[in-house]
Chains A and B, each alone.
Chain A
Amino acid sequence: MSPDKKLINAVDLSVTFKVPSGSLRAVDTVSFYVNAGETVAIVGESGSGKTTLALSLMRAYAPTSGNLFFENEDITHLSEKALKDFRKKVQMVFQDPYSSLDPRMTVSQVIAEPLRAHFKLSAKERDEKAGESLKAVGLTADFLNRRASQFSGGQRQRIAIARALSLDPKVLVADEPVSALDVSTQAQIVNLLQSIQEERNISYILVSHDLRLVYHLATRVVVMYLGKVVEEGACDDVVANPQHPYTAALLSAVPALEEASRRDRIVLNGAPPSPIARPTGCSFHPRCPIARPECSTNTPELQTMPNGRKVACFYPGELQPHISFTSSK
């Protein structure tokens, strides 16, 4: 396999939900891909469509239009039965390990459940595999017969990761994987995710609102606003030199340990509008600090810049946040 092969590739994907007042386009013509072994982060606020995009990349939602490919095979309209192989290769870790693990099941049952769904194994073989998965997340096999409810948040999230790894997936979708955990435990899970990726060359799709975490883990970042991608690029590049004013504002909103970042904060007015009553022109213009009259009438397309960056803004790069970079070198 060539190293830059696209594992998951979505082309012009849209997901629309029916709501009483009409239809809600949660994901609007989004193209997205993830290569083997890389981490792509999807960032944005609630209602931006980041979780809906992540779930539709897993075919948890059927796309309304557009195409979804896995290893170059079009899986947009595959039946649930035909998707079985895809399901094995793409697994998920959820935000809250208190609700994602059944408190009545033993750890061994939790981890073996996906194995049971996909393989015909004896109980002994399943236990062995479950033990291996536990070891991979830094827990020991004597956890197997205890119940998930006996464990702390960090241990539970390890168990949830072990369950996802039990099928040896190629892609792991992690939706806010550490935001329900205490700070001291977050770092344990972040380091674990990194070492698993190094060992297995697994790809991560990381959904997060925490831009420090995104910067730490991701190779590429996709910024969404009201269901559309407004900026996309290499993580280093996007953070150091954001082109879209929304990206700049998100970076600026990160609670800062450094006083300078607080002083020059870009504070947006109001909240994101409802995706049902989308503003005319650029969806971001009512909150944008640099909006011009044309922004309320014309819609900026997502343009590719010479360095591969993509941005949907008439005035890219104009608004810059103050970010305090640290250097460990």
Chain B
Amino acid sequence: MINTVSNAIEIKNLVVSFPTPAGYSAVVRGINLTINLGDRVAIVGESGSGKTMMGLSMLGIQPTSAQVEGEILIGDVNMVTAADAVARKLRGNYISMVFQEPLTSLNPVRTISSQLSESVRRHNSISKKEAEARVLAVLTAVGIPAPEERMKSYPHQLSGGLRQRVMIALALINKPQLVVADEPTTALDATIQAQILDLLRSGMGDAALMLITHDLAVAADVCNRIVVMYAGNIVEQGPVAEILSNPKHPYTRGLLSAIPKFDQARPALNPIPGAPPTISEVVPGCRFASRCSYADAQCTASEPEFINNIACFHPVTGAVK
């Protein structure tokens, strides 16, 4: 059904809007993004940046009140217009998702094995026994100790870290082209987060990864490419090393300099003043302008286009202090 192409997904001019008293307001405002097979791309942004809505739309599981426009191409299928039956065949098979809180994403009254087998058998006509062999293999691959025993467990019998490994196993079990992981480590402890980040970095097989996070350090830890979103737009993207050493958008620079460092002098942190615009707020020009120290009349008069991996009239150069 799917032609072999070099990219896992191609998003063209994606707009996701929600009804407000003043009409539809967009939370994703015309995103173009291609994720290649084997890529590990981080979508970084604050709450309200639209990153989660973009992720949900890619699987066609956005809230029912959302209006999605544009194209989300997986092979030659456009997820935006695809019939339910078609989208369902792709979900869990070509594209899958890992959520933040594994306890609420797993069925509490079914064993791990039964939940994972279901996903395998939905997409493949194989016997129960063969499905269980696949389950055992994928649980082993994601580093679950004593997998034969654990597959008979119920979610509540596992620790938070193991549950998240099960979620990742569930996402990987049909060898998808793309796994979307939305803040997969936010609910976990520091040492467990480190384990899961290692797994996301090097244990995903051939699947491409789109990691949604608000934490640039987590993004840098796992991915090779960073896409920065602000108020519904992509404002900057590039390879991790370049974004970290030479960020050009004032917002990216702001995010970097707001993180406390292991710096003995403990210089005061540089917060980004103000807050992002609300969903229904009409902002003329660049949506970051009111918080940006480089903004001038041009920035409030017109909105910068996304050209050469950045949407800014006044890109900055050099490392962030």
A binds B: yes
Known: A194-B268, A327-B265. A255 touches B193 (CB 8 A): yes
Known: A209-B189, A267-B198. A256 touches B263 (CB 8 A): no
User: Are the C-beta atoms of B189 and A182 separated by less than 8 Å?
Assistant: no
Partner of A45, one of B189, B244, B261, B262: B189
Give per-residue flags for A243-258: 1 if the beta carbon is below 8 A from chain B beta carbons, else 0: 0000001101111110
Partner of A265, one of B198, B264, B265, B321: B198
A327 to B263, CA, bound (A): 5
A152 contact set on B, CB distance < 8 A: 275
Number of interface residues of A (CB under 8 A): 47
User: Are the C-beta atoms of A325 and B190 separated by less than 8 Å?
Assistant: no
Interface pick from A79-87, A117-125, A184-192, A298-306: A184-192
B275 contact set on A, CB distance < 8 A: 152, 154-155, 185
Known: A46-B189, A183-B216, A191-B271. A326 touches B194 (CB 8 A): no
Interface pick from A12-20, A21-29, A51-59, A211-219: A211-219
B83 interface residue (CB < 8 Å to A)? no
A102 interface residue (CB < 8 Å to B)? no
A278 to B100, CA, bound (A): 29
Partner of A253, one of B194, B215, B270, B272: B194
A213 to B217, CA, bound (A): 13
Closest approach, in angstroms, between the C-beta of A226 and any C-beta of chain B?
13
Known: A191-B271, A252-B194, A253-B191. A328 touches B263 (CB 8 A): yes
How many contacts between A and B, using CB within 8 angstroms? 125
Restricting to B173-193, which residues have a CB under 8 Å from any CB of A? 189-193
Give per-residue flags for A284-319: 1 if the beta carbon is below 8 A from chain B beta carbons, else 0: 000000000000000000000000000000000000
Known: A253-B191, A255-B221, A326-B261. A185 touches B271 (CB 8 A): yes
Known: A253-B191, A256-B217, A271-B162. A190 touches B260 (CB 8 A): yes
User: Are the C-beta atoms of B216 and A268 separated by less than 8 Å?
Assistant: no
Interface pick from B25-33, B61-69, B73-81, B251-259: B251-259
B197 interface residue (CB < 8 Å to A)? yes
Known: A191-B271, A253-B194. A216 touches B266 (CB 8 A): yes
Known: A191-B271, A271-B161. A329 touches B258 (CB 8 A): no
B23 contact set on A, CB distance < 8 A: none
B47 interface residue (CB < 8 Å to A)? yes
A236 interface residue (CB < 8 Å to B)? yes
B279 interface residue (CB < 8 Å to A)? no
B159 interface residue (CB < 8 Å to A)? yes
The listed residue with most B CB atoms (<10 A of its CB), out of A191, A213, A253, is A253
A262 contact set on B, CB distance < 8 A: 221
A268 to B215, CA, bound (A): 22
B287 contact set on A, CB distance < 8 A: none
Closest approach, in angstroms, between the C-beta of A250 and any C-beta of chain B?
6
Restricting to B217-236, which residues have a CB under 8 Å from any CB of A? 217-218, 220-221
Partner of A182, one of B46, B190, B244, B265: B46
A190 contact set on B, CB distance < 8 A: 260, 269
User: Are the C-beta atoms of A271 and B192 separated by less than 8 Å?
Assistant: yes
A140 interface residue (CB < 8 Å to B)? no
B268 contact set on A, CB distance < 8 A: 191, 194
A265 contact set on B, CB distance < 8 A: 194, 198
Partner of A212, one of B260, B271, B272: B260
Partner of B270, one of A187, A271, A323: A187
Known: A188-B271, A271-B162. A257 touches B216 (CB 8 A): yes
14 additional A-B residue pairs with CB within 8 Å, beyond A184-B271, A271-B160, A328-B265: A45-B189, A154-B275, A184-B254, A184-B255, A187-B259, A187-B270, A188-B273, A190-B269, A253-B194, A254-B217, A255-B194, A255-B220, A270-B159, A326-B262
16 contacts between A and B (CB under 8 A): A154-B275, A183-B46, A183-B214, A183-B215, A183-B259, A186-B258, A188-B271, A191-B271, A213-B260, A215-B260, A257-B244, A257-B259, A270-B145, A327-B263, A328-B265, A328-B321
